[in-house]
Amino acid sequence: MQDSGWKARLDILRDAVKRNMLDKLVGHGWEASIVREVAAGEYVVVKASRGGAERSAAVLYSSATSNNVYKQLAGEVSVIFFNGQPYMVESFAMGVSIPVKPIDDFQPFLIEWNRESSTGKFAPTTTQAEETSLEELQAPRRVLLSETPIEAVWARLAQLKSATLARKMVDRRAQLESLSLEPSTIVSKGEGVAFALRNATDYFSAIDRRNVSQRVLNLYYGTMSFAFAEMLASPGGPQTLSELEATTKKGHGLYTHDGLDDRFESLAIGALVSGFFPSWVKSMTANSLVAAKRKPDGLDALKALPVESWLTMEQLFSRIPEVADLFEDIFEGKPSWVTPAYDQESNGRHHRATTTYALLIDESGRMTMDDIAAFPGAIREIIQVSSRSSASHFRVAIDHPESSIWWDALQLHHSPFKRHALMLPLFGTINEYRATCLVLLYALSILVRYRPSLWRQIQEGELDHFRSLIETFLSAVERILPEQFLEKITGQSISVHQPGSFFS
């Protein structure tokens, strides 16, 4: 039992040393490590070197450590730190002439060590630092500021309507991914990106908000054009725009079916194995799309297909967090998304855990634990906990051994209207919000073109509550998709904010 106590305290001490010392030292180009751990005295010794300079320090589990240990360490290191709050430091460290400080006070020592190990105005470089910079080579996060954020997004997209700038973007992405493209390939891909974005811009900019029918069609074909640009911009994607155009000759890769009845919410939308949509999905995920070989010719044929291969119109809208309030008012079904939140009470103070407890919040209050189990990701230990609101709270354990941040283990959707949402996959494997939007736009476009009797009831008849839902969804598409496609096309993380905002 005593041994296990030492081990637990050493684990805590190692975590504090890594967080407060080692990570900072390595970040400033030092080669640093714990060279000795002593369980009996509950301390570790750290050594660091940079540019020929060497430094050493000891870190105690507690300031209330034997005076003999302090004196022993004083002859070996230049500074002694202790973890936790100070307790009778002067008494325990009596007779020790070197500094004795809390580990939280390491920053001034780091600054001094950096100054002493530098020559002139330049910090010494290390092999370790150079290797890290090469391994972590990636596109920088781009911050766009505008009083109207969507205008900043479109301004950046407009630059890539230039074939010259699009070619440079394609070349840069290939270099970042360590791929070598032929000059002719860079030219053809760049021109394809520019032409596709010009089409997307024409469709999105031609929207007449008074005409919902035309708005649906323009957004559908505009989103397809964005998807063309995304695929062409990828270094491993198609080389020419004509290759992508050939996929559409096999159809759009989607179908609709009346479903169980001819109501709007029952309309079924499914994926096919050939055509544009499955080609796009293949470029964004390694998982296989659950799809049908051909459109079912009757209700029995539809029911015989894998349940993941098709959804109803209601199920598609349930995957759009931005229309949540209208969804709850209009439909009786459950939403297909939850809001993840850190569970402060369940996690305690462990800062470097590889499993974190989180709350998955169903704002509608309609979900059960079985519904939560269907969400993707390393989710386990599901239990419903009490809530002070009508929302349902489910506590889950999320394993994230490869990342210190728990939400990196979840494929979350982010938007200006809904900061974080975890959604059920589409057609078994697709977690991309823009793909869900395209499928929903496709279904709406079918109603506009081929089901005027139902569409007119939605526009000006007794089904006009669906019009409010559709218009809210279209507004979300107009704001969110251009930004998402800009990220995918450029391979850069985009952050768009108003000047002076908290996030700018």
Please give the pLDDT value at position 499: 79
488: tokens are 């995918």
Strand-pair partners of 356: 398
Instruction: List pLDDT tens digits, range 152-188.
Output: 999 999 999 999 999 999 999 999 888 889 999 999 9
pLDDT at 131: 44
The strand ranges marked E within 294-387 are 310-312, 337-342, 355-362, 379-385
pLDDT tens figures, 212-269:
999 999 999 999 999 999 999 999 999 999 988 888 888 999 999 998 888 999 999 9
Between residues 356 and 5, which one has the greater pLDDT? 356
Beta pairing class for 379-385 and 53-60 = unpaired
- pLDDT number for residue 136: 43
Q: Position of tokens 């440079």? A: 168
Sheet holding 100-102, edge to edge: 31-38, 43-50, 53-60, 80-82, 100-102
Judged by DSSP in three states, 58 sits in strand
Provide mean pLDDT across the span 87-92.
89
Q: How many CB atoms lie within 10 A of CB 456?
A: 13
Across the chain, which distance is largest between two alpha carbons, in Å? 93
The pLDDT value recorded for residue 503 is: 53
Q: How far apart are CA 456 and CA 16, in angstroms?
A: 65
**For residue 349, what is the enclosing H or E element?**
none
**pLDDT, tens digit, 9 for 90 and up, residues 279-304:** 999 988 877 889 999 999 999 999 99
Where is average pLDDT lowest: 18-22, 79-83, 141-145, 244-248?
Answer: 141-145
Contact 76, 41 (CB under 8 A): no
DSSP state of 288: P
- Dist. CA 426–CA 315, nearest whole Å: 10
Q: In this predicted structure, what is the pLDDT of residue 189?
A: 95
Residue 443 · residue 267 · CB < 8 Å: yes
- pLDDT, tens digit (0-9, with 9 covering 90-100), for 475-493: 999 999 999 999 999 998 8
Residue 140 has pLDDT above 90, yes or no: no
How far apart CA 110 and CA 50 sit, in angstroms, is 12
